[in-house]
Amino acid sequence: MAGRSQAAPLALAAFLALGLAQSSAQTLPRLHVPSFSLRADALHPQTEKPFHLIISAHFKEELKSVDFIVLPNLAELELLGSERHTLSGNAGTDYSETLTVIAHRSGNMHVAPAYFVAVDGRDGRPKRFSTNDLVLMVEGGALENPFAGVRHLVVTIVKMLAILVAVFVIAAIFFRRRARGVVAAPQPQTVVLPPPVPVRSPKDLLREQWAALRANRSRASVMQARKALWAMAGASEGETLADVLGRLQGRSPELHPLLRLTERAAFVADAYLQGAIDDMILGLEQYLA
């Protein structure tokens, strides 16, 4: 009877523990966790200069919020603030939290993992999911190496010796040149550049042809002016008026009357040449005005 009375409380305690474990598992989120990591944006941070620790995770489930992650222990760092981002969709949920921290001493610092407890979606068992931990090598601040002061002194002495050697070499070169005599530096030669050739526009060339036509009212002057006009239109001297107008395709309508007057003066009979030249000169004046 005594053995039976002791076994009853033990069975009851086991039953209650199992019930509590099942109840706790039912309150935990059921998650598939492909990735969960911790990193720093500077593995060699400087003392008294803020840097960042970034916690990243991806869940296959679409979550409205991720508020169950326990941040890493920052006993050796001062937390200045944090910023959390959660992006969820059909492809799952991406979570990141950026912790702004600062170190007040130099040396190696260990950052423990961030973690959370959830039901593993692969086997249905409650588990603790953890990131990797970090080892930071903080630089600057007080020297922790007892030989660092001696090393600094040696480096300073070497630098001073290098400067003295450089001064000695420069002085030796200077006095050697002075002993040989100072050679006068060649005088710089002044290079006279020719004046730039002014760039003449197509209208400047056409004005020259207009002046030449007024001074020499001949068919040869007409043909020279025609050549300049055809060049303005992007045509060669052998193309006809129809070819030139086809090239323009309605562009530069103010040039079309002058092209027709020039074509008439180029091929009109000799008896009508002077009248055609008058019309052409008037057309040139109107175009160049």
- Burial (CB < 10 A; 0-12, 13-18, 19+), residue 230, is buried
Pick among 3.40.605.10, 1.10.260.40, 3.10.20.30, 2.60.40.740: CATH of 25-138: 2.60.40.740
Which residue ranges of the chain lie beneath pLDDT 70? 1-26, 141-149, 181-187, 197-200
Query: What pLDDT was estimated at residue 10?
Result: 54
Q: Please calculate the CA angle 130-90-52 and round it to the nearest 5 degrees.
A: 40
**Strand 78-89 with 92-102, pairing:** antiparallel
Per-residue pLDDT, 184: 58
User: CA 132 from chain center: how many Å?
Assistant: 32
Q: What pLDDT does residue 25 have?
A: 57
pLDDT digits (tens, 9 = 90+) for 235-253: 887 888 888 888 888 788 8
Q: In this predicted structure, what is the pLDDT of residue 193?
A: 73
Instruction: Read off the pTM.
Output: 0.42
pLDDT of residue 149: 63
- Reported as half-sphere exposure (CB side, CA atoms, 13 A), residue 93 has a value of 17
Residue 75: what pLDDT? 87
User: Which pLDDT value is given to residue 110?
Assistant: 93
Compute the distance between CA of residue 279 and CA of residue 5 in angstroms, rounded to an integer. 136
Helical H segments across 109-255, by residue range: 148-180, 202-215, 219-232, 241-248
Q: Where are the domains of the chain?
A: 25-138, 202-288
Whole-angstrom distance, CA of residue 84 vs CA of residue 101: 15
**What pLDDT score was predicted for residue 186?**
65
